[in-house]
């Protein structure tokens, strides 16, 4: 019986309806389509099934069809049942790889998915027809479609797609599958790192020096900074001088004393601070550089008051020591005074010249010569007086005047080199450390002008005074000394404001102080504790010098040296000479033992 004459039997048995329908592709040897009656019969139960989102599944695998063989299973076609999408897929049995199934050309709504490793089928040719030559290409298109997101169905079942795909959409399907594979250019573009675009850093704070002229003569760099400024901050005098340039600038008024607060309020980035004179000498440029750092502050220099005063007198600024009394008390000048020196003293008070004259007379420099340079009309005007004349003068001066002082010879009230006299020490001279021990201790300490130091001694400050007088710019702490008594001695010895007194302190309190670069400890009660605390706080490369004048202090020195080996030892045997009944006698004093430690640099 031929395939067209074979009737299609429908069964009502419920058990057989549960089996999935198997459909037979048309024979490869014939292009004649099957009778549409079976398709119509099977389409009716599918329409009655519950709507379930379809999912493409693989066609059933079977051996090659024979041209003249009739499959008996087509005699009874059961009702097809759609696959349950929520059912766990069964594990596929391990079977040998079957051959590729025939194409379902009669069902355009069904998709056939093959394993990518299946061998290509052989082309069968005969009287009834042959397989199209484009089968391999269509098979590759299915593979790309499967990679595009189709999940492989379990068990080789066939399900319906969302909508039937007409033959016209096959080309579009091929293009969509090909577009899912990125090109080589796209892969290279994806692999290349994307560099983040960093925003341009804001312009730092710019400090512009206007000089001393009423109409400033600014450089091209200064003019460019002013034109690009977000806001221009300055005093009333500085802003008035900028008005003569005819620049339209956003301005903000600020006082020289509150410039730091004004900058915090306005902001540093994009701000230009204008200063009359030189920003480094007459303005806060040095403080801003120390506070913000060189990377955040740009200083454009100019001619300041000190440079103009020296130029008016024919002096080089390199041979002049600047003592700025605008930011320091008058005692700062007393600590700097030496014989045959030149000093430039910027002032902030009209009565300051007379006070400087009196200080010179009291310090033994009555013959000193003082030039007062004023800048009322822009150009400096200098007048000269002796220190005694200036001390008695009641004339007013410009508040921003500059004094040029030539000290000349000294009356010997202040020591030029270390070695403060007994008269300068006053009542504390009998308890002071011997002069020879003070000089050796300073030689071992080697204090520098920028360093911080501690001088720890109980009740007397002879070495602290020597240290402060020898290095007037160092910042020192005299620990264990009464502040009122130290103040009187400082005035007699010509010490400035670089020495502070701490009356009583324990070794634990030194943790609150800045780390020192040099420490001196005089032996007494608690020497071992002070040595340990000072060594712990000492900066890398710092020096520690200690003295011992009795047996207990010597034992403490030896005990600490057992833990931290000393670099140098010295013991001074001293004897004081005196005349008794016309005869010279030497009274031996207790020997002084000194030890030096140097802290290694951190690596």
The CATH number that applies at residue 288 is 3.40.1010.10
Q: Do residue 374 and residue 400 come from a single domain?
A: yes
Give the CATH number for residue 507.
Answer: 3.40.50.150
Q: Backbone dihedral region of 78: left (phi > 0), alpha (psi from -120 to 50 degrees) or beta? A: beta
Please report whether residue 193 resides in a domain.
no
Contact yes or no for 476/554 (Cβ under 8 A): no
pLDDT in tens, 361-376: 988 899 999 999 998 7
- Domain finish residue from 119, 151, 183: 183
Mean pLDDT on 303-312: 91
The residue among 126 and 351 whose pLDDT is bigger is 351
Name the domain count of the chain: 4
Please report whether residue 363 resides in a domain.
yes
Distance from the first to the final alpha carbon of the chain: 103
- Residue 152 and residue 158: Cα distance in Å, rounded? 10
Q: Do residue 338 and residue 296 come from a single domain?
A: no
Q: For residue 443, which phi and psi values (nearest 5 degrees)?
A: -65, -35
Q: Which residues contact 265 (CB under 8 A, 6 or more apart)?
A: none
Q: Do residue 354 and residue 478 come from a single domain?
A: no
Across the chain, what does the average pLDDT equal? 75
Indicate the pLDDT class of residue 521, thresholds 50, 70 and 90: very high
**Cα dihedral 530→534→536→540 (10° resolution):** -160
pLDDT of the residue at 431: 87
- Domain finish residue from 352, 374, 406: 406
Q: Do residue 371 and residue 242 come from a single domain?
A: no
| Exposed / middle / buried, residue 402 (Cβ in 10 Å: 0-12, 13-18, 19+) | buried
Q: Do residue 265 and residue 320 come from a single domain?
A: no
Residue 338 tokens read as 């030496």
Residue 273 has pLDDT above 90, yes or no: yes
- Residue 334 and residue 477: Cα distance in Å, rounded? 19
Please report whether residue 320 resides in a domain.
yes
Q: Reduce the DSSP state of residue 470 to 3 states and report it.
A: helix
Q: Do residue 288 and residue 322 come from a single domain?
A: no
Q: Do residue 209 and residue 279 come from a single domain?
A: yes
Contact yes or no for 380/374 (Cβ under 8 A): yes
- Residue 554 and residue 571: Cα distance in Å, rounded? 11
Residue 31 has pLDDT above 50, yes or no: no
Please report whether residue 92 resides in a domain.
no
Q: Do residue 250 and residue 320 come from a single domain?
A: no
Q: DSSP state, 160?
A: B
Find the domain containing 395 and state its range.
315-406
Q: Do residue 22 and residue 103 come from a single domain?
A: yes
pLDDT of the residue at 102: 42
pLDDT of the residue at 428: 81
- Residue 485 and residue 463: Cα distance in Å, rounded? 15
Indicate the pLDDT class of residue 407, thresholds 50, 70 and 90: very high
Question: What is the H or E stretch that residue 424 is in?
Answer: helix 422-425
Q: Do residue 426 and residue 349 come from a single domain?
A: no
Please report whether residue 309 resides in a domain.
no
**Across 255-264, 432-441, 474-483, 561-570, least confident range:** 255-264
- Residue 573 and residue 592: Cα distance in Å, rounded? 7
pLDDT of the residue at 256: 80
pLDDT of the residue at 181: 53
- Residue 481 and residue 467: Cα distance in Å, rounded? 15
pLDDT in tens, 86-95: 555 554 444 4
Please report whether residue 442 resides in a domain.
yes
| Exposed / middle / buried, residue 54 (Cβ in 10 Å: 0-12, 13-18, 19+) | middle
Residue corresponding to tokens 């057989």: 16
Q: Reduce the DSSP state of residue 345 to 3 states and report it.
A: strand
Alpha-carbon dihedral sign for residues 532, 533, 536, 542: negative
pLDDT of the residue at 375: 85
- Residue 163 and residue 266: Cα distance in Å, rounded? 69
Question: What is the H or E stretch that residue 499 is in?
Answer: strand 499-502
Would strands 402-406 and 205-209 be described as parallel, antiparallel, or unpaired?
Answer: unpaired
The residue among 592 and 458 whose pLDDT is bigger is 592
Q: Do residue 491 and residue 557 come from a single domain?
A: yes
**Max CA distance (Å), the chain:** 165
Would strands 543-548 and 592-598 be described as parallel, antiparallel, or unpaired?
Answer: antiparallel
Q: Do residue 270 and residue 392 come from a single domain?
A: no
Residue 178 has pLDDT above 50, yes or no: no
């Amino acid at each position: 019986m031929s395939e067209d004459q074979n009737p299609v039997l429908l069964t009502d048995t419920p058990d057989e309806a549960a089996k999935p329908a198997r459909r037979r592709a048309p024979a490869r040897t014939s292009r004649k389509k099957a009778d549409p009656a079976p398709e119509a019969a099977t389409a009716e139960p599918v329409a009655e099934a519950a709507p379930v989102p379809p999912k493409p599944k693989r066609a059933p695998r079977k051996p090659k069809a024979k041209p003249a063989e009739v499959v008996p299973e087509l005699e009874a076609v059961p009702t097809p049942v759609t696959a349950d999408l929520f059912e766990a897929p069964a594990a596929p049995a391990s079977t040998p790889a079957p051959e590729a199934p025939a194409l379902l050309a009669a069902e355009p709504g069904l998709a056939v998915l093959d394993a990518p490793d299946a061998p290509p089928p052989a082309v069968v040719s005969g009287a009834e027809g042959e397989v199209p030559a484009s089968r391999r290409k269509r098979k590759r298109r299915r593979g790309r479609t499967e990679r595009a997101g189709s999940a492989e169905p379990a068990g080789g079942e066939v399900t319906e797609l969302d909508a039937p795909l007409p033959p016209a959409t096959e080309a579009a399907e091929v293009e969509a599958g090909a577009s899912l594979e990125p090109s080589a250019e796209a892969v290279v573009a994806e692999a290349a790192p994307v560099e983040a675009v960093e925003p341009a850093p804001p312009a730092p704070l710019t400090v512009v020096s206007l000089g001393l002229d009423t109409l400033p003569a600014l450089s091209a760099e200064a003019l460019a900074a002013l034109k690009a400024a977000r806001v221009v901050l300055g005093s009333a005098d500085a802003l008035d001088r900028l008005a003569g340039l005819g620049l339209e600038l956003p301005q903000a008024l600020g006082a020289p004393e509150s410039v730091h607060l004004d900058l915090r309020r306005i902001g540093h980035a994009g701000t230009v601070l204008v200063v009359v004179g030189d920003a480094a000498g007459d303005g806060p440029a040095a403080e801003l550089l120390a506070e913000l750092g060189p990377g955040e502050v740009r200083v454009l220099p100019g001619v300041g008051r000190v440079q103009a005063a020296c130029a008016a007198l024919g002096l080089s600024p390199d041979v002049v020591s600047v003592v700025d009394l605008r930011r320091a008390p008058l005692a700062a000048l007393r600590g700097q005074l030496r014989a045959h020196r030149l000093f430039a003293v910027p002032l902030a008070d009209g009565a300051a010249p007379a006070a400087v004259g009196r200080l010179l007379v009291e310090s033994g420099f009555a013959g000193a010569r003082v030039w007062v340079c004023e800048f009322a009309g822009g150009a400096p005007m200098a007048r000269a007086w002796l220190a005694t004349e200036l001390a008695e003068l009641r004339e007013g001066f410009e508040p921003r005047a500059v004094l040029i002082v030539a000290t000349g010879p000294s009356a010997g009230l202040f020591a030029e080199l270390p070695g403060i006299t007994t008269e300068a020490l006053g009542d504390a001279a009998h308890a002071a450390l011997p002069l020879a021990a003070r000089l050796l201790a300073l030689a071992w300490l080697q204090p520098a002008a920028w360093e911080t130091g501690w001088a720890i001694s109980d009740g007397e400050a002879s070495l602290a005074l020597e240290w402060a007088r020898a290095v007037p710019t160092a910042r020192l702490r005299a620990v264990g000394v009464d502040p009122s008594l130290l103040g009187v001695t400082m005035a007699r010895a010509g010490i400035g404001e670089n020495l502070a007194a701490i009356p009583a302190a324990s070794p634990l309190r030194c943790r609150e102080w800045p780390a020192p670069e040099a420490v001196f400890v005089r032996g007494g009660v608690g020497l071992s504790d002070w040595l340990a605390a000072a060594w712990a706080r000492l900066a890398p490369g710092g020096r520690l010098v200690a003295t011992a004048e009795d047996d207990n202090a010597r034992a403490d020195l030896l005990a600490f040296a057992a833990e931290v080996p000393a670099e140098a030892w010295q013991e001074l045997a001293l004897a004081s000479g005196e005349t008794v009944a016309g005869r010279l006698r030497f009274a031996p004093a207790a020997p002084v033992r000194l030890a030096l430690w140097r802290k290694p640099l951190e690596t």
